Amino acid sequence: MKKYIAFFRLRFSMGLQYRAAAAAGVVTQFVWGGMEIMMFRAFYNTDPDVFPMTFQATSAYIWMQQAFLALFMAWLMENEIFDSIVNGNVAYELCRPIDIYNMWFSRSLANRISKAVLRCMPILLVAGFLPAPYGMMLPESLPAFMLFLLTMLTGAGVTVAFCMLVYMISFFTISPAGIRIVAVSTVEFFSGAIIPLPFFPENIRKILELLPFASMQNVPLRIYSGDLIGAPMWKAILLQFLWLMILVLIGKLLNSLAMKRISLQGG
């Protein structure tokens, strides 16, 4: 375990060095979040009573989504890993006395957390000073905030575990581009990244909430905004942990199969 913690610390420290990229990302995400809120405001002006979330809750959902974008976005995969699989440099990783799945998982998680740490505070501070209902709101209670933190970390773990499946499947393909595009598009739509899941028709929403994509950003953001409470909240948290274990188990199985069939040529 110590060596994977070391990989995590090394990747986390490396990610904190890209401050200029983080500053550019903050501006982009703040502008994008503002555009989304204005778009939703136009819909809410027609008849706010028909929407499943209050406009204030929707604004909080969007700002938290932008602040912690790096934790949940499936497109934030490491090109370095894909390149090592395609060009054979993964052989250097296999020479080490480590489990490649655990190493890539710890690296990917550290990479996401470091990016989120650099970008979240400026967005949250600015959004916190915006007038209601366009800005941030405080969580309903301290327990709700603690549950938000727990589910946010678990959701990041689910996202990384899903991305690990894409990495492992890449061992069985000529090019990872196709599976990567399909995976990213699926997560973007079904995780609530484009449209929050409560806005879907009820019959469809009930199905989507059972899928692993709903356990990524949907659960923590809705807990913070106060949209997910009571028994449905505890059911969603349980599903989060269940999907995390399932995805990690499938990923390790694919890793085992890939290590048995991988062949590298060259001198």
How would you write the pLDDT of the chain (267 residues) with one tens digit per residue?
A: 778 888 788 888 887 887 777 788 888 888 889 899 999 998 898 888 888 888 998 999 999 999 998 899 888 888 888 888 888 778 777 777 888 899 999 999 999 999 898 888 888 888 888 888 888 888 878 888 999 999 999 999 999 999 999 999 988 888 888 899 999 999 988 998 888 999 998 899 999 999 999 999 999 999 998 888 889 999 999 999 999 999 999 999 999 888 877 665 554
CA–CA distance, 222 with 229 (Å, rounded to integer): 9
The contacts of residue 157 (CB under 8 Å, 6+ apart) are 109, 244
**HEC letters along 117-161:** HHHHHHHHHHHHHCCCCCCCCCCCCHHHHHHHHHHHHHHHHHHHH
What was the pLDDT predicted at 228?
A: 86
CA–CA distance, 107 with 99 (Å, rounded to integer): 12
What is this structure's pTM?
0.91
What was the pLDDT predicted at 264?
A: 58
The answer to whether 191 and 216 have CB atoms below 8 angstroms apart is yes
The answer to whether 58 and 137 have CB atoms below 8 angstroms apart is no
Complete DSSP assignment for 66-107: HHTHHHH-TT---HHHHHHHHHSTHHHHHTSSS-HHHHHHHH
What was the pLDDT predicted at 267?
A: 41
Residue 266: left if φ>0, alpha if ψ -120 to 50, beta else—which one? Answer: left
Complete DSSP assignment for 189-217: HHTTSSS-GGGS-HHHHHHHTTSGGGGTT
The terminus-to-terminus CA distance of the chain in angstroms comes to 32
Compute the residue count for the chain.
267
